[in-house]
Amino acid sequence: MPKAIFLDRDGVLNVERGAYTFKTEDFDVCAGVPEALTLLKQQGYYLIVITNQGGIAKGLYTKEHVLACHEKLQQACGGILDALYMAPAHESVSASIARKPDSLMLEKAMAKFNVDPAQCWMVGDQLRDMQAAEKVGVKGVLVGDYPAGTHPFQAENLLEAATRFILPEGQK
């Protein structure tokens, strides 16, 4: 069966700014992301972005802003990403089971691409990303500056997550 890497956006693929990143001029791809995505794609993984975008519900920006940032990411990575799923709701405005830590975005992507959850990984920078992955039987790698032991699989960034946990030895 096919396999996939589910990728949170802010803090994994692009630099986390502490506020909503929706302007392309503020959207900076994290170091090592193009290389990591290329390695993962070479091993047959679908690459699927799974992102909460609550600023849409808050009226701070539009879906088109998110898609423009995604296009900038695609350009930086050679068009390698297979899909983008976003949850535009925010709990302060409207509830949604699509938002992580719920798993609807993952479930939709898994159904569309017919992937085997046992062969999939979620890479995220928040515990809610790991919770969403766990709900659908997908292993998760928590990236960022967390104390050791916060999660069973922890890495500094996507490239380390790929080479240390996801890719089999000899395929890095």
Whole-number Å distance between alpha carbons of 27 and 106: 24
pLDDT of residue 61: 96
For position 5, what pLDDT does the model report?
Answer: 98
Query: How, if at all, do strands 3-7 and 83-87 pair?
Result: unpaired
Q: Write the pLDDT tens digit of every residue in 86-106.
A: 999 887 777 788 999 999 999
HEC per residue, the chain: CCEEEEECCECCCECCCCCCCCCHHHCCECCCHHHHHHHHHHCCEEEEEEEECCCCCCCCCCHHHHHHHHHHHHHHCCCCCCEEEEECCECCCECCCCCCCCCHHHHHHHHHHCCCHHHCEEEECCHHHHHHHHHCCCEEEEECCCCCCCCCCEECCHHHHHHHHHCCCCCC
Do 166 and 121 touch, CB atoms closer than 8 A?
Answer: yes
Phi and psi (nearest 5°) for 85? -115, 130
Q: Which domains does the chain have, with CATH numbers?
A: 3-141+150-166 (3.40.50.1000)
pLDDT of amino acid 24: 97
Alpha carbon 119 to chain centroid distance? 16
**92 phi/psi in degrees, rounded to 5:** -75, -15
The per-residue pLDDT for 75 is 97
Q: Which parts of the chain have pLDDT scores under 70?
A: 169-172
Catalytic residue IDs: 8, 10
* Per-residue pLDDT at 96: 86
According to the model, what pLDDT value does residue 113 have? Answer: 98
Q: What pLDDT sits at residue 172?
A: 53
Residue 169: its pLDDT value, please? Answer: 67
Q: Prior bond to 101 cis, omega within 30? A: yes
